[in-house]
Amino acid sequence: MAWADNLVYGGYDDWRLPTTLIPDPSCSNQSEGTSFMGYNCTGSEMGHLYYTELGNSASGPLANTGPFTNLQARSDWSGTEYAPITGIAWVFYSGGGGQLAGSEDSNHYAWAVHPGDVAAVPEPGTLLLLGSGLAGIAIWRKRLGRTEG
């Protein structure tokens, strides 16, 4: 969490680790009202990205990576601690879409998130439409110049 708190990238300094919704009634494994883990946990930011935005399925593999380059199946820390036990935090495994609690002494990756868009990503279809429109205008102007001259 300290890494994300101190991160300055793209002109922004308000980065953080993704949150995990607790309790999360969407999770497949719930016991005693304290453990919200398993698959289909769309209440966490990483789960929402994995299932809802990218359209991946429970038990993996990570088939759809969307606009992300080099997105790999791995476990990433959440910024949400596991309340019943100190020294434990929530982890999301993008190799299969599982959410679990892990020891803060364990090695996992971290994915910093920021509210809003950091950079606009142009869509290929939009660029194609814009380019076609500009080419059409250029051809029209060229023909208009021939008929006037």
pLDDT at 63: 92
pLDDT at 30: 67
> pLDDT truncated to tens, each residue of the chain (149 aa)?
889 999 998 888 999 999 988 888 888 876 655 557 889 999 899 999 999 999 999 977 899 999 888 888 999 999 998 887 888 999 999 989 999 888 988 889 998 998 876 555 555 566 666 667 777 777 767 776 666 55
pLDDT at 42: 92
pLDDT at 60: 77
Are residues 74 and 109 in contact, defined by beta-carbon separation less than 8 angstroms? yes
pLDDT at 84: 76
Instruction: Give the integer Cα–Cα distance in Å for 105 and 90.
Output: 12
Are residues 98 and 39 in contact, defined by beta-carbon separation less than 8 angstroms? yes
Q: From the CA atom positions of the chain, what is the Rg in Å? A: 22
